[in-house]
Amino acid sequence: MARATILALLVSGALLAQAPPPRPEQLTFKPLAFEVPRAADFKAKLKNGIPVYVAADPAGVPFVRLRVFIRGGSFLEPRGKEGLASLTGMQMRAGGTAMTPAAALDERLEFLAGDIDSNIGDTSGAVAMEFMEKDLKEGLDLFMQVLTRPAFAQDRLDQAKENLLQGLQARNDKTDGIAKVELPRLLNGEDHFSSAQMTGASLKAITREDLAAFHARLLHPENLVVSVSGRFKKEAMLDLLNRTLGALKPGAAAQVSPRVPAPSFRRRPGIYVVDKDVPQSLVRFALPGLRRTDPDWHAAQVMNQILGGSGFTSRLMKKIRSDEGLTYGIGTGFSDGAHWKGNWSGSVQTKNRSVAYVLRLALAELERIKAQPVPPEELAVIKDSIVQAFPSQWGKKANVVNLFAQEQLTGWPENGWAGYREKIQAVTAEDVQRAARKYLDPAQLVILVVGKAGEAEAGDGKDHPGALKDVAPLPLTRLPLRDPLTLKPLS
Amino acid sequence: MFRTPGRVAAAALCTLAPLSAQDIPVTERTLPNGMRVLMVERHDEPTISCGWVARVGSADERPGITGIAHLFEHMMFKGTKVIGTRDAKRDAELNALQDRTVGEIRKELDTLREKARRGEIADINDPGARSPRHQQLLAELDKLVQEQRGLIVKDELDKVYKQAGATGLNANTTSDRTFYHIDVPANKLELWAWLEADRLKNAVFREFYSERDVVLEERRLRVEATPTGKVQETFNALIWQAHPYSWPVIGWPSDITTVTRDQADNFFSTYYAPNNITAIIVGDFKTEEAFATLQTYFGGIPSRTTLAPRVTTLEPPQGAEQRLVATANAMPMVQVTHKTVPSVHKDAAALDVLSSILNGQSGRLNLELVVRKRVAVNAGAGNRGMKFGGIFYLGGVPAPGHTPEEVEGLLLQEVERIQKEGVTGQELQKVKNQVQASTYARMENNADLRDQLAEAEGAGSYRDFLEEPARLNAVTREDVQRVAKAYFGPESRNTMVIRRKEAK
């Protein structure tokens, strides 16, 4: 074709485009190249060994965002002090610092329109800051105070405890508040740290000295990983960080955090019901899963997306929401098993009398994906969707460095995402069926129902008869509601 | 459903000055059929955040069809003449047959409603109260639904988008607008235009009657099964006496269960005309190429000559201050509201600044009620400007040993202090510093920017959003004191007190 013709086509194409094809499948698209970001390209080390992931964007918006990830969490709490980790995290920022009292810190941060946030969870914590580029020096100084010299002011601690106590009293107000207490006990046992929960007594027992000691223990360079992004030059930022975070030495009380302990609990599969007077039950269910490094991981992911992990396109949603109108939503997923084998779990809410029927429909879908190979078109849709959406999951560079830092902290392999799309694309219908048979064993199910127990247990008498106890060959147990402050069962 | 007041206030705090003018480069076009197109081109991520907003919401409803704007939003995912069915002809016949059967069922329901009115039955939805003919009609409807299900390509819209790598397909409805959005890979803009133009031109509301049940479950999820959902709904109905803001966006249950496809068709043709819609794209595209694509697809939708009716009811001044006292399985709390002004009103910026001065860790409410007096465990304020009106609220949770009424008194005292003494220069400067930072923050994320542009188009024009920082920056200490005096009288006040229900 002559050059002039091509040019003419391009011009008319730009002005008029072509007539729309009758079906969207007939559209053609330019290829979209995307290379997986590599952790090594962002990584540096401070002089004391702290790994840091840096994304400089000198032409971007004039912010600097820094996040120090901390290895350690509630799994390190002594018995009787449940809540210590989260209180320590909260009060690092809220309680002021040795040089800047809490009220002055509040005022200064809000005046600068900057932010410092600190929190500690089950297995890790983070202290993060966000400042305008022009305020970097002052912001980083305040940040280092919060990280290394928190004052844990007594009056702020008292206030926080009062606030938390109010929150504890609200524990049974919502169905998911109840599920949050019961589910870890059913999955990991009462003795595992993941089941440990703050009580009125443990909250009362926590002192300012406990917070200071917990903080001192965690503040060890080997427990820290850093991410930083925003408008700066990489070398200048590394220099600044080396003079601040890089100068951090372990204090006398600092300890390298040990490995997170896995539960050693023998699960008792069954249907568990907590009675709560609401018109709609919350249903949670779980099965033993796998770790992200398991060779089955990619097949399991695809299997889950087909079954319940991809919204309207997954089978459970089609059946239970679109066909039957029984719920606003149902979804399932594998947790990645950061510290021990994770779970495959799901959640659905439906009016009390529909609970049994919804579970029967869901269990039938579990059996179907085990019994019948997934049709080629359905498999292709799910695999394409994971592969095509992969670039958008990385987002901006700030997200990328945060992801790499979090993964380093957890201990995942550094190049874990290389080849991910290829491995997903290689999953076959047989792989899906094999994963389904391996991971969807209904005899291992733990099902938790929080709702009006009598109605949920009776089922939908007229339209879809069948009692909850007959949903699966599993024992049905009523669990008592717990006192929200003591967590002791109420009779 | 509603924007949360906190986010509105945060979104409002943005400015163009003084660091350096950060104009957001919005390209605005209007298609010959009246549809507006907003485009913001940038290339830092290989995706495009797309959406379109229709200027219709629950405020455009009337008693009897409350919830239809939201139900409609659900129906827009059910496919078109092309998407979602294997046999468009039979599909249409089945819809007609279903509608006829539902018409007969409605007559049966009329009978039951009459019986309920006379107290002969307690609940028109009780299966035991149905006549044999009623049961038979339900069985017939079920058969028609089953047959249609055989022809349906389930949730095909979602499937086509998913396979293309698009994420976040969703929509939401407020009292003022309905917004449909998704993020697509940078090479898939044409797919978005194809699918969205198709559902604007060729929508078919199939699975209409089972979707009403989904909405009822959504209502249980959001309202009835939450500790304070129904109390909040009652409070909202108390605040708005005449204006359609008084009913919930999701609608009253009896309306949701009786709305018909005819009413939905009617609603669609009235409000979903291209001249009542703005399309917005933000992300990795070339503006002229993108516009040509949008023109090709959306340009073919016929415009409507009769404009959608306007909401004309003006909220009258209240005859008296009102108070709602409730018990619930929830933390005790108090909320004091005052009716203010629409989001585009010239006083809205000063009210936003006032709420910022009251809010935050170093704001007046936290300092006075939580830190100094320790009467509350938290306290806050917000100015929620909507299209036709606004609400300024003050709220707090009492500390153990204190009552909601004590908190209420102190909340009002803080406003009175500002009425008498005004605010300080330092307080105003703090807000303006926050405005400056948000000038940049508000444009960082493609999807957030798209959402904010859509919100502004729903209540007025995207220009209101662009100019918001300048309006906030122009607010003076005198302005803040003036609005504090103007809008906080008892005649526009409604107060809600929630006490914890005693355990039995």
- Judged by CB atoms closer than 8 Å, whether chains meet at B77 and A312 is answered as yes
Which among A25, A166, A311 has the least Cβ separation from residue B397?
Answer: A166
Cβ neighbours, 10 Å, residue B1? 15
Looking at residue B7, its pLDDT comes to 32
Interface test with B, best of A18, A65, A161, A392 (most B CBs within 10 A): A392
- What's CA B45's distance to the chain center, in Å? 28
Using pLDDT thresholds of 50, 70 and 90, give the confidence band for residue A18.
Answer: low
Q: How far apart are CA A476 and CA A473, in angstroms?
A: 9
Count Cβ atoms within 10 A of the Cβ of residue A411 and give its class: 0-12 exposed, 13-18 middle, 19 or more buried: exposed
Using one digit for the tens of pLDDT, what is the confidence trace for B316-361?
999 999 999 999 999 999 999 999 999 999 999 999 999 999 999 9
Exposure b/e, B344-383, CB count within 10 A at least 16 = b? beebbbbbbbbbbbbbbbbbbbbbbbbbeebbbbbbbbbb
Question: What's the confidence (pLDDT) of residue B428?
Answer: 98
**Low pLDDT (below 70) residues in chain B:** 1-22, 503-504
Angle at Cα A308 formed by Cα A305 and Cα A310, nearest 5°? 50
Residues on chain B touching A112 (C-beta within 8 angstroms): 433
Kindly state the average pLDDT of the residues A244-273. Answer: 97
| pLDDT at residue B47 in the model | 96
Distance from CA of B488 to the nearest CA of A (A): 26
Residue B502 contacts A, CB cutoff 8 Å: no
Interacting residues of B394 by C-beta distance below 8 A, sequence separation 6+: B335, B336, B337, B358, B365, B379, B380, B381, B411, B412, B414, B415
B311 to chain A, minimum CA–CA distance in Å?
30
How far off is chain A from B91, nearest CA to CA, in Å? 16
pLDDT mean over A386-394: 93
pLDDT at B504: 53
Give the mean model confidence (pLDDT) for residues A174-202.
97
Q: In the predicted model, what is the mean pLDDT of residues A45-56?
A: 98
pLDDT for the residue B213 = 85
**Which chain A residue has its CA at the smallest distance from B80's CA?**
A23
Both structure tokens of A127: 């202290």
Q: A271 and A468 in contact (C-beta within 8 Å)?
A: yes
Instruction: Give the predicted TM-score (pTM) of the model.
Output: 0.92
DSSP-assigned letter for residue B4: P
Kindly list the residues from chain B whose CB atom is less than 8 angstroms away from the CB atom of residue A172.
329
CB pairs under 8 A between A and B: 216
Arithmetic mean of pLDDT over chain A: 94
Return residues 72-91 of B near A (CB < 8 Å).
Answer: 77, 82-83
Over range A290-304, report the average pLDDT. Answer: 97
Sequence length of chain A is 491
Distance CA A100, CA A71 (A): 26
Is the CB of residue B127 less than 8 Å away from at least one CB of chain A? yes
User: Judged by CB atoms within 8 Å, which residues 228-287 of B form the interface with A?
Assistant: none
Closest-CA residue in chain A for B190?
A: A27
Q: How far is A307 from chain B (nearest CA, A)?
A: 14
Quick check: B376 and B413 in contact, CB under 8 A?
no
pLDDT at A12 over 50: no
What the block records as the tokens of A231 is: 């408008």
Cα dihedral B196/B202/B205/B207 (nearest 10): -80
- What is the per-residue pLDDT across A327-351, written as a single tens digit (0 to 9) for each? 999 999 999 999 999 999 999 999 9
**Three-class DSSP category at B42:** coil
What residues of A are in contact with residue B206 (Cβ under 8 Å)?
none
> Contact B45/A392, CB-based, under 8 Å?
yes
Model confidence pLDDT, tens digit, residues A348-380: 999 999 999 999 999 999 999 999 999 999 999
Q: Which residue of B has its CA nearest to A320?
A: B214
Residues A375, A378, A383, A384, CA torsion sign = positive
- Chain A residues with CB under 8 Å of B331 CB are 166-167, 169-170, 173
DSSP bridge partners of B29: B37
Closest chain B residue to A165 measured between Cα atoms?
B400
pLDDT in tens, A414-432: 988 999 999 999 999 999 9
